[in-house]
Amino acid sequence: MNKNQPIGIFDSGLGGLTVLKALQEKLPNESFVYIGDTAHVPYGNKSQKAIINYTKTLSNFLIEDHNVKMIIVACNTASSIALKSLQRAYKIPIIDVISPIQSLLLENNQIKRIGIIGTHNTVKSKAYNKLLLSINPKLKIFSQACPLFVPIIEEGLENHQITKIISGEYLDPLIYKKIEALILGCTHYPILKKNIKSFLPASIKIFDSAETLSIHTKKYLINNSLISSSSNHATHLFITDESDHFNRFACHILNNQFSTISSIQLF
């Protein structure tokens, strides 16, 4: 494996761009190939079989067409449902967005009550619960599915009044449970981070999976001698269905730090 090969990233849509941005900042010499499955977004209400099939198609594209050195699953739903299937199917490293959160918990071991927000599938999988309880069985964990957050973000309504109303509906039950930290269990959600923060007491810590994943990925690359030393790097974006929202968010979130954006048919 050549350390200067690109890193592959996939997500159900545009949420994973928050992960890509964090990775670009942490790993300025790396090249990236990102694919957003805009033809099937959101994954949160799809069957497990469909999600596994989608993720294998996206992984094949990244490996066979772009020769990536590793794949980052920048989607909590896919991480919770398809990760083991992907790791069995491919030989290259595959890093999910859920596992790195354990380092945050170890660094904040005084926290005893944690809230988790995510899609229906992520919450139903209990992937975060299993991970967190394996570290500290005494933790009190409270999960809240937030199915409207992804379509709100995909439609560009993150600053709309409806977002404030929905945020209150989702977050009030967790505040009532006296949580001490909140895990944003979907890579879309950092786009709503300011909105979410405004509803929470200042004492509640917010754990952003995009930032945590970027730190974990950098450590992995360094420890395995895979970090790029190339000055000739680029970021290429792909989507599986045309999306004006994706294009606008890519320009906004990444501050135009990408070379190309293309729509392709994989399904």
Of these residues, 81, 127, 186, 237, which one is catalytic?
186
Q: Is 186 a catalytic residue?
A: yes
Q: Which of 33, 41, 75, 105 is catalytic?
A: 75
Buried/exposed code over 120-137 (b: 16+ C-beta within 10 A; e: otherwise): ebbbbbebbbebbeeeee
Q: Distances in Å between the alpha carbon of 151 and those of 41, 77, 82, 94?
A: 9, 15, 22, 27
Question: In terms of Cα–Cα distance, which of 68, 101, 65, 71 is closest to 83?
Answer: 71
Clarify whether 146 is annotated catalytic.
no
For residues 206 and 221, give the distance between their C-alpha atoms in angstroms, rounded to a whole number. 26
Give the CA distances from residue 132 to residues 28, 44, 47, 88, in Å, rounded to whole numbers and listed in that order: 31, 21, 25, 24
Strand, helix or coil for residue 260: strand
Q: Which sequence positions are flagged as catalytic?
A: 75, 186
